[in-house]
Structure 1
Amino acid sequence: MTNFRTEKDCLGEMQIPDSDYYGIQTHRMEKVSGCAGLPVIFYPDMHYALAQIKKAAAKANGRIGAMPQEVADAIVQACDEVLTGKYNDQFPLDMWQGGGYTCVNMNVNEVVSNRANEILTGEKGTSKVHPNTHVNMGQSTNDTIPSATHLGMIGRVDKMICELTKLAKSFRNKQEEFKDIVKVGRTCWQDALPLTLGQEFGGFASVTERLVRKLQHLRPGCFEIVMGGSAVGTGFSAAPGYKETIYEELTKQYGEKVSPMEDLFDGFQNPDFIVEMSGTVKEVAMTLSKICKDLRLMSSGPRSGFMEIQLPALSPGSSIMPGKINPTVPEMVIQISHQVVGNDVAIAMAYDEGELDLNVWDATFYKCLFESFQLVNSEIEILRVHCVDGIKANAARCAQEANSSIALSTVVATALGYPMGVKVAHYCEANNKTVKEAVIEMGLMTEEEAQKLVDPMLMTNPHAMAPVVDAFKKEKHVI
C-alpha cells in the first residue's frame, strides 16, 4: 500500500507518494512534461552543479548565521548524496520546460530538502527543512540555473581538451609515418603541386592543436557565474556576507577559483559565453567533419577512386554488394556536425530572444549545448581509435599520381618561364605524356636534369628545391 504525505504551495495542496523525494512543484510540472521523452538528468551536469551550489549556499548560510547549523549540515549531506547519482531517478522532468528552468531548480530543492528533513527527523516533509526557505536560501532560479550551466561545462570542456589532444597526437604519429610518401595535391578537386601524405596529416594535427588552445582560452569563463545576484542581479534576499562566502565555498569544492561575473546585471541579461562556447564546439565538430570528408575522398575506391589511403574495415558496407566497405566512422562524424550546427543555430536564436533583465531560454541553451558536448566528445575517441590510428597509406598509388600529374609543369614555369610551362602542359595532354617525358622529348632538359628537377618529392621541400632550380637557370643562362 502506497503511503502519501500532504504538501502545499502557492497554488494549493497535493497528496505526494511518500516514496518520492521530489515534491509538489515537480509533480505539477510533470503534467506538462515529456515532449522530448528525454529527461534533463540525461545530461546530469546541471543537477550535479546545482547540488554543488546548494551545498555551498548551505555552508555559506551556516557560516554567517543565517541558517541553523544542523539544517545546513543536513543539506550538505543530502547534496553529497545527490552528487553520487543516488537520486537520479528523482529528477523526472523533461528537457523542454518553460519558466527558465524554475521547475528544475525546485526539483533539486525538493529532493535535497526531503532528504535533509529525513536525515534530521527520520521522515520526509518540511518540519525541519523547507525547499524554498532553506535549500534555496539566498538564491533564485535566475542565478542558480545560469551558474549551474557554466559550472556544468567544466567537465565537458576538460574532456574535449583531453580527447582533442590525443587525436592531435594520433595525427602527428601519422605525419611521421607518412613523411616519405609523396602524392599529388588537389585544389578545386584538380591536380595541384605535390606534397607528402605526412604534410597533409600534419595539417590535420595543427588545426586540432589550435582547437585545444581555443578551448583552453575559453575554460576560465566556466568559473565565472552569477550566484549572489538572486532574481535580477541586485542580490535581494541574500544575508550579509552570503555572496562572499558562497564563492569561497564553491572555490573549495571545485578546487579552482570560482568568481562572480564583473557585472551581475550583464550576466543575467546576456548569456553570451554560452554562445561563444557553442560556437567553439561547433568549430570542433565542423573541423573534424572537414577532415573526415577528406579521409572519405582519399580512401575512395578501392579501385576506382583516389585510393591514397585505406581506412580500417569495420563492417560490410552493402546488403547486396560483397566486399564493399563504407567509411562509417567519417560518415558518423559528418552527421554529428550537421546536428551540432543545428544546435548552434538554436542557441543563437535563444540568445537573440532574451529580453530585458533575464534570458529565460535556459532549456534551449542546456539541451542544445550539452547534446553537442556529448556528441562531439564521444565521436573524437571513436574517430581516433577506430579510424585514424588504423589508417594505412597506399604508397604506390600516391607515387603514381604524383609522378603523372601535369601540375609538375610548374617546375618548368619556374625554371624556364610561364609560357614554356604552358607548352609543356599542353604537350602532356596532347600526347598522354608525363611532364618528365615531355621535357626530355621537347629538348628542354636532359634526362639527368629531368630526373633532378621534375621530382615530386623534391618539390615538397621549397628549401631544397630553390637552389636546384636556381642552379639550372644559371646553367641555361635564364638568369
Structure 2
Amino acid sequence: MATRIERDCLGEMEIPDDLYYGIQTTRVMGVSGVLGEKVIKYPYLHRALTQMKKAAALANAEIGALSPEIAQAIAWACDQVLTGKYDDQFPLDMFQGGGYTCVNMNINEVVGNLANEHLTGHKGQDKVHPNTHVNMGQSTNDVVTSAEHLCIYPALDLLAPELDKLADAFQGKADEFADVVKVGRTCLQDAVPLTLGQEFGGYAEFCRRQAANIRGLRDECFELIVGATAVGTGMGAAPGYQEAFYKHLSAQLGENVRSTKNLFDGMQNDDFCVKVSAAVKQAACGISKIAKDLRIMSSGPRAGFGEITLPSLSPGSSIMPGKINPILPELVSQVAQQTCGNDVVISMAFEQGELEISVWAPTLYKNLFESFDLLTKVIPLFIEKCINGIEANRERCRKEARETIALSTVVAATLGYPEGVKVSHYAQEHNLAVADAVLEMGIMTKEEADLLLDPALLVDPARMSEAIAKWKKQKGKL
C-alpha cells in the first residue's frame, strides 16, 4: 500500500495515500470512538465548516495574505467536499475532547490534500498546508462555534415545513369534525361541551405557532464570531480579513452573514444553541401533549373514552387478541422524552463553559441535531399513519355530551349557582341527564330544556349568550 509522510507538532506519521484525511485526524481516531456515531451522521457541521473554509481562502486572497493560486485550489477543494463525494473521509466519532479541534483539522486536512493534489498531482503538505493555508486567520474556537450557528438554519428549514403540514393535517380534521359535539374535560373530569373540531383546531393553531417560532430563529443563525480567532482579540487574522470573509460567505450563501456585536461575548457564551434547543423542545412537548390527548380520546374501545378511533397499525398484545395500541402517539411521546433529555444536556454544556470559550461543542452538536432529526422524521409518520386516518365516534360523543352533569352549568348561569348545585346533585342521585332532571324538578319546561341544554347550542358562544339572556329576560331574572 502506498503511503505518505505527514508531520504535526507531535512528530511525523506514515499515512495511507488513498486517504484524504491526515496525521491529526488519525491521531484522534486512536483515542476516541466511545459513542460509535460519526459526526458526519448529521452533515450540517461539515458543510458549514467547508463553506467557511472557502470564504476564508477567498478573503485571505483578496487582502493579499494568501496567493490566488492556493486560494482558488482551496475553493475548488471545498466545492468538491460540498458535493458529499468525500463524506467517507470524515471518520471521527461524535464525542471528542478538545472542543472539536479534531473536526476542524479533519476538514483542513481533507481540503488541504484535495487542493494539494489538484495543484501538484499528489496529496501532501508541500504546496497547500492544512494549518498554514486552509486554516489561515482561523482558530477552532471561532470557526467551530460559528459553524454550529451556521449549520442550524438548514435544520430549521427542514423542520418548519413539517410543522406546517402537521397544522394542515389537524385543520383538516377540525373541518371534518366541526359538527361533532362532545364532552369537554378538565382535570380528566366532565366539563361543558365543545366540538371535536374546536379541539383539533386548537392543535392546528399550536403547530402553526411552533412553525413561526422555528422560522423566527433563522436570522440569528447568520451572526458569527469568525475573526475572533482564539480568544476574541483577532490574533492571527490579517487586517481586512473579517470584512472580506463575511462578504464572501454572504455571497456564497445568499444570506446576510455578519459578525456578532461583541466577539468576547460570542466566544464565551453559546446560548443561541440553548435558545434553539428550547424551541425544538417546546414543539416536541406540545405535539407529545396532543399525542397523549389522542391516546386518551381513543382509549377503549369499550371501557375507555372511545371518542375517536385511530388507525390500526399493529396487534397490541402478545396474549390479548384484538387489542390495538396507539403506537404512533406513543412514538411521538418517546421523541419528546428524548428531546427533553437532550435539552437538559445542552443546557449543562452551555453552563459548563469556562472563561474565554466553551469546549462542549460535541455535546451541543450531537444532542441538538439528534432532537432536530427525531422531530423532523416523526412528524410525517404521525400525519400519514395516524392523524389522516382518525375517525370520530359520533354517536358516543353525542350521547355523552347530552348526559354530562356539567350541563348544570347552564342552570347556574340562568338561575344562579346554588340552583345549579341542586340540579347537579339531583341528576347524580337519580342517574339522570340534566335535561331530564330540570323537568322532574319543575325548573324548566321541555321546550326550555331542549333549547338551553342542547349541547350543540353550548359550543356556539354567541348563540348561547343570546339564548340565555333572552330566557332570563322572559323570566324576569335580569
Shorter-chain TM-score category? over 0.9
Paired with 1:226 and 1:378, the residues of 2 have a C-alpha distance of 31
2:64 paired residue number: 65
2:457 paired residue number: 458
Where does 1:118-157 land on structure 2 (aligned, <5 Å)? 118-157=117-156
Counterpart residue identity of residue 104, structure 1: V
1:416 paired residue number: 415
1:400 paired residue number: 399
How many residues were matched structurally?
478
Paired with 2:80 and 2:397, the residues of 1 have a C-alpha distance of 59
Unaligned residue ranges in structure 1 (runs of 5+): none
2:38 paired residue number: 39
Paired with 2:282 and 2:109, the residues of 1 have a C-alpha distance of 39
Where does 1:97-136 land on structure 2 (aligned, <5 Å)? 97-136=96-135
Where does 1:147-296 land on structure 2 (aligned, <5 Å)? 147-296=146-295
Paired with 2:381 and 2:151, the residues of 1 have a C-alpha distance of 23
Shift of 1:216: 2.0
1:427 paired residue number: 426
The yes-or-no answer on 1:341 pairing with 2:340 is yes
Q: In the TM superposition, what whole-angstrom CA distance separates every residue of 1:403-453 from its partner, at most 9, and x where no partner exists?
A: 110000100111111111111111111111000111111111111111000
Q: TM-score, normalised by structure 1?
A: 0.98
**Partner-residue secondary structure (3-state), 2:12:** strand
1:357 paired residue number: 356
Counterpart residue identity of residue 371, structure 1: E
Shift of 1:171: 1.2
**Partner-residue secondary structure (3-state), 2:95:** coil
2:324 paired residue number: 325
Shift of 1:315: 1.7
Q: In the TM superposition, what whole-angstrom CA distance separates every residue of 1:179-209 from its partner, at most 9, and x where no partner exists?
A: 1100000000100010000110111111111
Q: In the TM superposition, what whole-angstrom CA distance separates every residue of 1:203-237 from its partner, at most 9, and x where no partner exists?
A: 11111111122112211111111111111111111
Q: In the TM superposition, what whole-angstrom CA distance separates every residue of 1:116-166 from its partner, at most 9, and x where no partner exists?
A: 101111110011100000100111101110111111111100111111011
1:444 paired residue number: 443
Shift of 1:41: 0.6
Paired with 2:84 and 2:312, the residues of 1 have a C-alpha distance of 38
Counterpart residue identity of residue 269, structure 1: Q
**Partner-residue secondary structure (3-state), 2:184:** strand
**Cα RMSD for the two superposed structures:** 0.9
Q: In the TM superposition, what whole-angstrom CA distance separates every residue of 1:39-79 from its partner, at most 9, and x where no partner exists?
A: 11111100011110001111111222211111111111111
2:308 paired residue number: 309
Shift of 1:320: 2.5
Q: In the TM superposition, what whole-angstrom CA distance separates every residue of 1:303-351 from its partner, at most 9, and x where no partner exists?
A: 2111111111222222222222111111011011111111111111111
1:79 paired residue number: 78
Counterpart residue identity of residue 369, structure 1: L
**Partner-residue secondary structure (3-state), 1:128:** coil
Paired with 2:469 and 2:26, the residues of 1 have a C-alpha distance of 82
Paired with 2:195 and 2:184, the residues of 1 have a C-alpha distance of 8
Paired with 1:295 and 1:249, the residues of 2 have a C-alpha distance of 50
Paired with 1:472 and 1:49, the residues of 2 have a C-alpha distance of 68
Paired with 1:225 and 1:385, the residues of 2 have a C-alpha distance of 38
Paired with 1:259 and 1:170, the residues of 2 have a C-alpha distance of 38
Paired with 1:58 and 1:390, the residues of 2 have a C-alpha distance of 53
Shift of 1:469: 0.8
Paired with 1:6 and 1:307, the residues of 2 have a C-alpha distance of 71
Counterpart residue identity of residue 399, structure 1: R
**Partner-residue secondary structure (3-state), 1:143:** helix
Counterpart residue identity of residue 44, structure 1: P
Q: TM-score, normalised by structure 2?
A: 0.99
**Partner-residue secondary structure (3-state), 2:182:** strand
**Partner-residue secondary structure (3-state), 1:37:** coil
Counterpart residue identity of residue 93, structure 2: D
The percent identity for this pair of structures is 59
